[in-house]
Chain A
């Protein structure tokens, strides 16, 4: 589904991605982990075509993404920060996405799932941060696509919505989708991720299945398992 080959990216002198190669061929949930500034978001953005890598190629379903923007029909994106045109209503925002790409015809179920019906005619500028994040979630999950990219999906959500979101993510995995997500909350990785990719200073330092990781490090907690794993690679100051 997604094949990343030796991509690297520099912002001025700062190397954010160094020679990363990754392939995701099976459906499942992949947690992209790493400390702040390790290049998680940049990596996701290169897949989305938002950041253009200096070297290397990325293929989605075998097609080089630098050649054709239509591949993005196959990728839905939930960005970290939810800011929308202030003077548009929720309904109008949904219409924009609906007109831009293929959308699940039952997207109104999502709207009601997060209790957004009452806000449909409300201007986005008048919504609270949490509500905007819910709109954000709806926008990404309503897309008909094989791949879902979620950047810190639970930030700003209340616990009830967080639970609903997690269920949603699982159901989408069960629909056979590839889901790439970044998060700082280990619980979510623990609960959802099948596989994790660990980035450090722009390099991929670990990739493996969550179950394997727990087995090999003999740790119940994923957090500890990761710390152990990375410790083995002589990294002392680890922040997740």
Chain B
């Protein structure tokens, strides 16, 4: 945290100490590239209101580019708009439009390569293919930007904030919509994603691939194809996020695929087809999460070991837990289950009989997805009931032997 503040302060100081060049229709510099050309390192280029057609503008020196009253950089669908190839560049206050589209080249509004200590903030990006794409750039801050894609399911949607091989990144307070993935991290370590809103994206609100030791907190993901996917990653902390309305076929709030040692705490999952879909993920700690009105709260496929589900609230989900194997190496304890029908005679706050969160039908659906067509049919109610009385197919040790009688507060 303090490191980031340090960078910010540095950048601010640099703006005041070094020279300042202005760009406008009446200024000495009429175009942004010409101003950058004549700027010395650590100068500030102030761009006044106006429309500037720009594409493939390359920045090769550390400077501060600042828009006053939101000048517009128009890419005219011709490819990249800004390419940052230098450390310590600050880029703030611009409106950016019309990035080019290609099958083989991932054009972005703002692109960086091997450029550390960047600050990209307060920009409004519209009709982008990729929004902000940073490669092999570390100690970067991407803050308070608005990125809007083309709201299309087709190939012409890219990712909003796309980081590849980066470290110590901080993505904060951005609003991302109409993209493929709102935020995409591939090989990104030791980074934070904080308080972003990611919504109406085709694929994911936030997507981690091969990334380790990252945290994401206080984000809001809604109406995405799926909320968040965390794949092939380690040590990810997911705290206090909200996953809403990821409704749709094969949609989920959170997808965990081959991840280890994660913490999932105090998140709210509401109205998702599947709140958390877990595949081959181990040593995950789920605590104090709310699962409300989802199709599935937790859907487990593949081998998942030593996971702990404690003190969560499972309220009005069609299926609380679905499981594909008989083997259970996971702990469910002290959760609140709204469909628990047991009693608490000794009044200690915990139900006296264990709760079995896996219904036979969810087991069947997991095996043969097509059987979902029988959802809520009378026959299914009957076999669910008989399975609950005498478990045959569902893992008989998969149960919460200390279900809470009341909704858990924290």
User: In the complex they form, do A and B come into direct contact, defined as C-beta atoms under 8 angstroms apart?
Assistant: no
Instruction: Tell me the A residues contacting B by CB distance below 8 Å.
Output: none
Instruction: Tell me the B residues contacting A by CB distance below 8 Å.
Output: none
